[in-house]
Structure 1
Amino acid sequence: MGKPAVPKKVLLFVSALYRDKEVYYNSLDSLEKIFGEILIESSPKEWNYSDYYKPEIGSPLFKRFVFFKNLISEAHIADIKLKTNQIEGKYSENCKRKINLDPGYISTAKLVLATTKDYSHRIYLKDGIYGEVTLIFKKNTFCSAINTYRDYEDLENIKLFNLARKIYKELLID
């Protein structure tokens, strides 16, 4: 019989999808106050993978990934999603978000996203939050999993996730 283990320490990141740079930087300030020092902040990249967010946030849309230096327990990702939802609400206007913040984490084996949307490949965590293994680490790189979002499959983003994983492994040793 297997024995339950203590949740692992993992590398927290938040993806930010936005139109307005000021809203992004205000949200980033809120994220730093809650999660601490930023380890990596990607450059903005135009996001045109879907029209899903355009009616709410507008266009053109940009996406950035922000990784935090303080490692978290993987058990806390649902609570973190609830906090990022509060930040989204803070910067909403007329019941429309101006930014979409999706937290996730990187471990040595996978990249996991937290979401409020249930689907066949997601598992319920708590408080209306689901978890999704979005990328799997095998053969020395992150690879797609079932239903991986196209922007997470982007080679430039894969390189970023691989770099973040490498830094995460160094943080585990320190």
Structure 2
Amino acid sequence: MSTPRPPLSAQLVLSLFSSRWEMFWPDLIPSLESFLGRLESAGTPIPFSETTYYEAEFGTPLQRRLLAFEQLVPQERLREIKLWSHDLEQKYLRGGQRLFNLDPGLLTQERFVLATGKNFTHRIYLGDGVFADLTLIYQAGRWQTLPWTFRDYAAPVLQHQLTQLRLKYRAKLGIFDKSPVRTS
């Protein structure tokens, strides 16, 4: 019999992409830090070319950047953070279009989960129009993709950045070895 208990807090990761960085970066950082705490790292921008879906709204060339914050967050905050990030996107509208897209995610030892407002077969409803998307799992010492994993999250460059964030996360938990985590 299992006994319900809260899980460990997670590493908050914001996936931010845009083609108009000069219009909001680094001015966006104080807004992020006012709600999420001190920004710990901003990953190297990664070209976002797996789809043309966002080009009409954001232009080209799109780049994705992973942002991580110093303070770990309770996992149940994912819904709240997604709603807040949506509001922040709206504050930066120019000509009725977003300057950037913010997708909050939670990185744990076992998985990486993104929040989204779009329903799909594998997504779990969290409330208030927000769904959790299990994007990657960590097994056997590396990230494992799933049939629905976005192509850019399956790419080595983005997984490398997530691995580095996972190592920092484990250090925050007091776990310093690089051995895989058992998930059963």
TM-score, scaled relative to structure 1 = 0.95
Instruction: Kindly indicate which of the two structures has a greater share of residues assigned to helix.
Output: 1
- Residue 46 of structure 2 is matched in structure 1 by 45
1:1-174 alignment runs, 5 A limit: 1-22=1-22, 23-173=24-174
Structure 1 letter corresponding to 2:75: E
Post-superposition CA distance 1:1-25 (Å, at most 9, x none): 3221113200001011111123232
Does the Cα contact within 8 Å between 1:121 and 1:146 map onto a contact in 2? Answer: no
Distance 2:137 2:108 in 1: 10
Distance 1:123 1:97 in 2: 26
Large movers: runs of 4+ above 3 Å: none
Distance 1:67 1:125, change over 3 A: same
Q: Which runs of 5+ in 1 are unaligned?
A: none
Deviation at 1:144, TM superposition (A): 0.5
Distance 2:97 2:39 in 1: 27
Identity between Structure 1 and Structure 2 (%): 31
Distance 2:56 2:29 in 1: 23
Does the Cα contact within 8 Å between 1:24 and 1:99 map onto a contact in 2? Answer: no
Structure 2 letter corresponding to 1:16: L
Post-superposition CA distance 1:91-135 (Å, at most 9, x none): 112331110000001101000000000000101011110001100
Structure 2 letter corresponding to 1:14: L
Post-superposition CA distance 1:47-94 (Å, at most 9, x none): 111111111111111110001110000000010000110110011123
Instruction: Indicate the larger mover: 126-135 or 36-45.
Output: 36-45
Does the Cα contact within 8 Å between 1:41 and 1:64 map onto a contact in 2? Answer: yes
SS at match of 1:9: coil
Does the Cα contact within 8 Å between 1:13 and 1:105 map onto a contact in 2? Answer: yes
Instruction: Kindly indicate which of the two structures has a greater share of residues assigned to strand.
Output: 1
Structure 2 letter corresponding to 1:6: P
| Cα RMSD, aligned residues only | 1.3
Q: Which runs of 5+ in 2 are unaligned?
A: 176-184
